[in-house]
Amino acid sequence: MSSNSAHSEEAHEHPTWSTYKWIALWLTLITVVEVWAYYIPAFVASNYFVPALLIMSAVKFTVVVMYYMHLKYDHALFRKLFVGPLIIAIATFFALMFVFRKMFQ
Amino acid sequence: MATDAAHDAHEHHHYTTTGLDHKKIAIWAFIGSECMLFMSLISTYLIYKGKSVVGPWPHEFWCKATNTAAATAEALAGCPADQIYKPILNIPVTSASTFVLLMSSLAMVLALAAVEMKDQPLPAGAGLGDRMLRSSKLWLWMTAILGATFLGFQAYEFTSFVHEGLTIKTNLFGSSFFTLTGFHGAHVTAGVIWLLTLLAIDYKRGLGPKDALKVDIAALYWHFVDVVWIAIFTLIYLIQ
């Protein structure tokens, strides 16, 4: 019984080869756009450059975690084990940037 | 008899009270802790960004004689030509290595899929493509080779930086950059070794669906190394 429930908890659908192929294509495309943006001086100098790069990077990060790491299809506990520390890490990042950037100014 | 069967079923999968395998819970907890490690290293790099008192710098031209930096070489008028150092980060090379690491993640998911489907018969009229998709050895080799290629790019980058005068001791940029990317490179190296051990098992007795969890755990680690690089590439290399 417990073995059966264990197996049913772990049973999850994985994306197909076609999905993996399209994800790889999109990841490559986003990387090309990122690098392309880097070589446009007017865009680099604008206020949109950093947010645009951060959004593209976040999209790539999320896609890999959700599809390649199967977090979208896996048990909710795995999501909590990943997202919990990630939130702590991001909060620590902002706290450090706030404290030290202010100190150096 | 039934006890033996139950024992066999649990031989490779040790389930916790949550109904989940404890090794998979452990790798996710490990990945969570690694998020915090790498975020602290990235934070350190960004805190020290622009605080180096001597060059070379990541995105600026540097006149060694006067120790001044500028966005263009022309802006360093009066500086002897042999004293001008170009921005040290090599974006084309790093873009290529980023592409290599992204493709290694694709190879890794295909390796896991091949192991999970090992017992299923090939469909009638299956072509070379179908046979390739079922070859765990091919995709594990591909992932390991792409990982090693990424390490080759990193070795080239580190060597060229040292030749251009940037070491871990040169300035704050060098210290934080080499520490961050060096830690990441060490993780990639561990991943390549892990992949080679899986390949050794595959050659010795063959990896099958009963080993899917082993490959899944290695794959999670490998993809994590990839997502860390996605963050590093944007935050360290592209944002000026």
Residue segments in chain B with a per-residue pLDDT below the cut of 50: 1-10
User: What pTM was computed for the model?
Assistant: 0.89
Which domain covers residue B117, as residue numbers?
21-51+88-238
Q: Where are the domains of chain A?
A: 2-74, 75-105
**What is the rounded distance in angstroms from the CA atom of residue A62 to the CA atom of residue A79?**
12
Are B231 and A57 a contacting pair at CB < 8 A?
A: yes
Residue segments in chain A with a per-residue pLDDT below the cut of 50: 1-11
Q: Which of A14, A25, A48, A57 to mutate to test the interface with B (most CBs of B within 10 A)?
A: A57
3-state secondary structure string, B121-136? Answer: CCCCCCCHHHHHHCCH
**Which contiguous run of DSSP H or E holds residue A66?**
none
Report yes or no on B81 lying in a domain: no
For A74-94, write each residue's pLDDT tens digit: 889 999 999 999 999 999 999
Q: Domain total for chain B?
A: 1
Report yes or no on B69 lying in a domain: no
Residues of B in contact with A24 (CB under 8 A): 102-103, 105-106
Report yes or no on B138 lying in a domain: yes
pLDDT at position B80, please? 83
**What is the rounded distance in angstroms from the CA atom of residue B84 to the CA atom of residue B61?**
7
Report yes or no on B174 lying in a domain: yes
* CATH number (domain holding residue B187): 1.20.120.80
